Amino acid sequence: MTKSIGRIGIIGTGVIGASWTALYLAKGLQVVATDIAPSAEASLRKFVETAWPALKRLGLSAGASQSNLKFSADLAQALAGVDLVQENGPERIDFKQKLYGQLDQLLPPDVIIASSSSGLTMSEIQKGAASHPERCVIAHPFDPPHLIPLVEIVGGAKTSEATIQRAAEFYTSIGQRTVRLNQEMPGHVANRLQAALAREVYLVAEGVVSAADVDTALSWGPGLRWGIMGNMVLNHLGGGPGGIEHFFQQFTGPMTAWWKTLGSPVLTPDVQKKLIASVHAEAGSRSIQELAVERDEVLLGLIELRNKFAGSSQKKSPEPVA
């Protein structure tokens, strides 16, 4: 559990697996990817090539090269000699458990198996790894992981503390921002926060506002602040000179009253139909690809600004008092 991680095995090269691949290559790592889809290799290499200008703009690490990518449809061949496996298979517990049984047999016990699963718990997944469940951990990214640096790390009932620490150190070493969950929760943390917000699709379903108005309210209101600081610290600022203590004094009553009126929508076919129509009206003629390009371009600018600010803040840090 102490050897350095320099060679990554990628299982599954869909949207998340391909994005992980691009990130690892940009960080100067060796990557071997595997996927049984007939056109998987061509699609993966095209994704990496398309993502490369953005990664170059953010700054490539020493040794970064697209030529460090190898591909094999054979699982055993792909995983020979890897130091960490980033698993991006389908979100089906039966599939995961069977796969982890195979990985458990193929890999030396000091190779971490990290799952990108967005909702399944590692306690269930690692039941498939009978010999070495202690090296299995959730390392859940946010789409697209080659741009968004968040990684949620959570172990299962049989995951060792050494695995969790080593995984956290690895992701931090390549510039990712890690959040450790001290206990398992379905959907982890970031997706649960999104899900809490998503409950208010009730506002669209009830005709209070359109999907476009919901997105305007979010992206040009609290979303702008959330791109800078998290909600907890923003509440601290919202309390003025009195900070978080004054915030609770002022807003506990109104906020808890709002909670009581939050919607609890059931996504019936009719509700889905309303939401779909409203989202398409908002998107207009813009394709999925065009929307993704727009998202990524603004996201790059925000990341560059935050990195610049973080760098200047570190330079301004006062010297410790002797």
Can you give the pLDDT of all 322 residues of the chain as single tens digits?
A: 567 899 999 999 999 999 999 999 999 999 999 999 999 999 999 999 999 999 999 999 999 999 999 999 999 999 999 999 999 999 999 999 999 999 999 999 999 999 999 989 999 999 999 999 999 999 999 999 999 999 999 999 999 999 999 999 999 999 999 999 999 999 999 999 999 998 888 899 889 999 999 999 999 999 999 999 999 999 999 999 999 999 999 999 999 999 898 878 888 999 999 999 999 999 999 999 999 999 999 999 999 999 888 776 666 655 544 3
Q: What is the per-residue pLDDT for 322?
A: 39
Q: pTM, whole model, 2 decimals?
A: 0.90
Q: What is the pLDDT of residue 319?
A: 52
pLDDT tens-place string over residues 177-226: 999 999 999 999 999 999 999 888 889 988 999 999 999 999 999 999 99
Would you state the pLDDT for residue 320?
Answer: 47
Residue 56 backbone class (left: φ over 0; alpha: ψ -120 to 50; beta: rest): alpha
- CA–CA distance, 7 with 12 (Å, rounded to integer): 16
The CATH code of the domain at 7-188 is 3.40.50.720
Distances (CA, A) of 72 to 43, 69, 215, 229: 14, 10, 42, 42
DSSP structure string for 203-224: HHHTTSS-HHHHHHHHHTTHHH
Domain spans of the chain, in order of start: 7-188, 194-284
* Helical pair 15-26 and 40-58, crossing angle rounded to 10 deg: 50
Q: What is the pLDDT of residue 309?
A: 85
- Which one, of 189, 118, 113, 176, lies nearest residue 145 by Cα? 176
* Alpha helix segments (H runs only) across the chain: 15-26, 40-58, 75-79, 93-106, 122-125, 161-173, 190-198, 202-205, 211-219, 222-226, 231-238, 243-260, 269-283, 288-316
